[in-house]
Structure 1
Amino acid sequence: MSIPKKKEVLGHRHRRGPCYSTDVQLVYDHDYRHLTTGILVPRGVYDYRDNASFITLGTSRETSAFVCDAIALAWHEDRAEHYPHTREILLTFDAGGANAARSLRFKEDLVALSRRLGLRLRVAHYPPYTSKWHPIEHRLFSQVERSLSGVILDSARTAREAIQRTRTQTGLTAKACLLDTVYELGRKCSETFHEIKHKFIRHDSVLGKWNYVVNANEFL
């Protein structure tokens, strides 16, 4: 499962919630934009079976390329060793945003991701207005919010360390890493992809606009 969390602004800004500290934490009394030092774009990948997660903290923008890079990073850095004989990965997404179900730019990046991982990707989008029922929301990000509660996010490293402290009694673990790649907005789908997309993407017969298979390693 892969889904974004709301963007976090970095800087000495007040954040709601309790936070235990040995010293007084000084913050600005106004959240003016010029007082910020950066932005974090979290992207979570949650393994339902192992109750484990990997969160990529981007410092640029949320684009389809960033989504695919975050999935590849989670797979190579954490999940691949747990599934050595995998031939297909199931990915669930919201229907909008950088991973929109109707986005050809996202589908083209998924084809590149399939080729990069050497795996078949089965993709399922939650229909519009149903993302709140996505398990990653209440199993992972609700716990991540607790870990970030009251923490002054003065740097990306502080955010990463706070997220990695996420633990639950049911065994949830969270890993996090920073991704400093700068992503370009406004990228368009290539003209070539319009002509060849059917060779790599097969839509299901039921609700095909939200469910499809991507395989760049052989023609479908």
Structure 2
Amino acid sequence: MIQDFFTKFKDILHDTINKLTGSDKRIALAKTAKAYGKGGQSLVAEEFNVSRDTIRKGLYEMETGICYEDAFYLRGRKKAEEKLPDLLKDIKEIVDGQSQTDPNFKTTRLFTRLTIEKIREQLIEKGYTDEELPSNQTLNTKTNQLGYKLDKVKKTKPAKKIKETDVIFENLKNVNDEYHDKDNVLRLSIDTKDRVKIGPFSRGGKSRTNTQAVDHDFGNEFMTPFGILDLSNDHLELVFTKSKVTADFMVDAIETYWLQQKSQNPELDTLIINADNGPENNSRRTQFMKRIIELSAKYDVKVIMAYYPPYHSKYNPVERAWGVLEQHWNGDILDSEKAILGFAKSMTWKGKHPRVTLVEEIYETGKKVGKKVMEEYEKMIDRLKGIEKWFVEIHPQKCKGALEMAMKV
């Protein structure tokens, strides 16, 4: 009889039961199977495309009056970051220090030199196991969601590569890993942007207002921003000058920021500076190193200079701020100091406005330290063998005589 019932009213029964959900559906299926008798569970399971466990649950609910709770929110595959709460943070730490901005500052996109396989290797070095990590495809998706583009872009490919490049990058990674999140360490990324011409000149941007600029950008007034990016809190400091950005100018700006942070955190005793090996701040620039050594001695602070290799300065994190700044003020007229400083103050970096200052002092250019004097200062510098130009440590205990020497020079 039940067979005839299925034959004549199968579609109606299917439609009716399938409109039910949860416990109601399970009980309806259980009643149908029970009415059929022996073999009913298998028949109903096949007809309605459900498991026999579902029918057994329905029988239990029908007989006891106790219904199972449908925890749909527990079903499905969990996101990788739910299983591994620190995964996204660790990917960011790995990729962030080895990513570079658009070299033409036309966009704010980031490009990375790391392949997804390399990211996986470095995650394993951090303590993850290969088995618990998601697939490379998922890692690629998560990395892209963080804002990092893994495709190689010819425009951002460095023009040259020296033999020490890989060793320098490895050393940078080791330094960042060793001192990461330590309360006594201040880590800064520094860089000088190209000087900005003051005047009613077009910067190649677009504006929704009727902005007009002169045909030619003749003029002899400039302002130059020096950037200090605090990598512990993403604070951006922009220090402008109308004179040349010299070694003394940069060290004065670094010293000012160090004192500000030291007043807020007395535990600070180590300063790490990431920079490119520019003409005014490289580790062979005598006046720069002299001033850094004096800073170490004066404030009893260990200073680590960790430089990026030649042709790879775009990996320096503060470089990305220049791309944001260019995007912010392109299309407007920078015809005065007030306009330049105003646009710099109104830009946002990581959701915050930078602190912007103008230094009125005119710095003397071309200052050098005599060879014999510099030989004494050089004794206070520890250089890492093999990459002596790109990694130096300055310990305050070795710099005790630096301030006395400075008085005599």
Pairwise TM-score range, normalised by the shorter structure: 0.7 to 0.9
- Please state how far the C-alpha of 1:113 moved relative to its aligned partner: 2.9
Aligned to 1:176: 356
CA RMSD of aligned residues (A): 2.3
- Please state how far the C-alpha of 1:92 moved relative to its aligned partner: 0.9
Q: Relative CO higher for 1 or 2, CA cutoff 8 Å, sep ≥ 6? A: 1
Aligned residue among 140, 143, 160 for 2:341? 160
Aligned to 1:3: 191
For the Cα contact (< 8 Å) 2:229–2:236, is it kept in 1?
Answer: yes
Gaps of 5+ in 2: 1-188, 400-409
Aligned to 1:110: 292
How many residues align structurally? 211
For 1:48-87, list aligned pairs within 5 A.
Answer: 48-77=231-260, 79-87=261-269
Secondary structure of the residue aligned to 1:2 is: strand
For the Cα contact (< 8 Å) 1:51–1:171, is it kept in 2?
Answer: no
AA matched with 2:341: R
Secondary structure of the residue aligned to 1:98 is: coil
Aligned to 2:225: 42
- Please state how far the C-alpha of 1:84 moved relative to its aligned partner: 2.9
Secondary structure of the residue aligned to 2:292 is: helix
- Please state how far the C-alpha of 1:118 moved relative to its aligned partner: 4.0
TM-score between both structures, scaled by the size of structure 1 = 0.84
Aligned to 2:142: none
AA matched with 2:194: K
Cα distance in 2 between the residues matched to 1:201 and 1:53: 29
Secondary structure of the residue aligned to 2:303 is: strand
In terms of mean alpha carbon deviation, does 149-158 or 174-183 score higher?
149-158
Cα distance in 1 between the residues matched to 2:206 and 2:293: 44
Cα distance in 2 between the residues matched to 1:116 and 1:182: 24
For the Cα contact (< 8 Å) 1:144–1:166, is it kept in 2?
Answer: yes
Aligned to 1:101: 283
For 1:127-146, list aligned pairs within 5 A.
Answer: 127-138=309-320, 140-146=321-327
Aligned to 1:12: 200
For the Cα contact (< 8 Å) 1:14–1:28, is it kept in 2?
Answer: yes
- Please state how far the C-alpha of 1:161 moved relative to its aligned partner: 1.6
Cα distance in 1 between the residues matched to 2:258 and 2:335: 29
Cα distance in 2 between the residues matched to 1:142 and 1:172: 16
AA matched with 2:236: S
Note closer, same or farther for the CA distance 1:81–1:157 as it changes in structure 2 (3 Å cut): farther
Note closer, same or farther for the CA distance 1:149–1:116 as it changes in structure 2 (3 Å cut): farther
AA matched with 1:137: E
For the Cα contact (< 8 Å) 1:40–1:60, is it kept in 2?
Answer: yes
Cα distance in 2 between the residues matched to 1:156 and 1:118: 37
Deviation track 1:156-210 (CA, whole Å, cap 9, x = no partner) reads 2221221111225x43441110011111222121345323124421112452321
Cα distance in 2 between the residues matched to 1:75 and 1:146: 29
For the Cα contact (< 8 Å) 2:297–2:397, is it kept in 1?
Answer: no
- Please state how far the C-alpha of 1:5 moved relative to its aligned partner: 0.9
Note closer, same or farther for the CA distance 1:205–1:156 as it changes in structure 2 (3 Å cut): same
Secondary structure of the residue aligned to 1:143 is: helix
Larger Rg: 2
In terms of mean alpha carbon deviation, does 53-62 or 181-190 score higher?
181-190
For the Cα contact (< 8 Å) 1:108–1:193, is it kept in 2?
Answer: no
Gaps of 5+ in 1: none
Residue 29 of structure 1 pairs with residue 215 of structure 2: yes
Deviation track 1:4-23 (CA, whole Å, cap 9, x = no partner) reads 111111122222213466xx
- Please state how far the C-alpha of 1:97 moved relative to its aligned partner: 2.1
Deviation track 1:40-68 (CA, whole Å, cap 9, x = no partner) reads 11110001221111011011002111111
Name the structure with the higher strand share.
Answer: 1
Tell me the percent identity: 24
For the Cα contact (< 8 Å) 1:156–1:178, is it kept in 2?
Answer: no
Cα distance in 2 between the residues matched to 1:124 and 1:205: 13
Secondary structure of the residue aligned to 2:280 is: helix
AA matched with 1:73: T
Note closer, same or farther for the CA distance 1:46–1:26 as it changes in structure 2 (3 Å cut): same
Secondary structure of the residue aligned to 1:61 is: coil
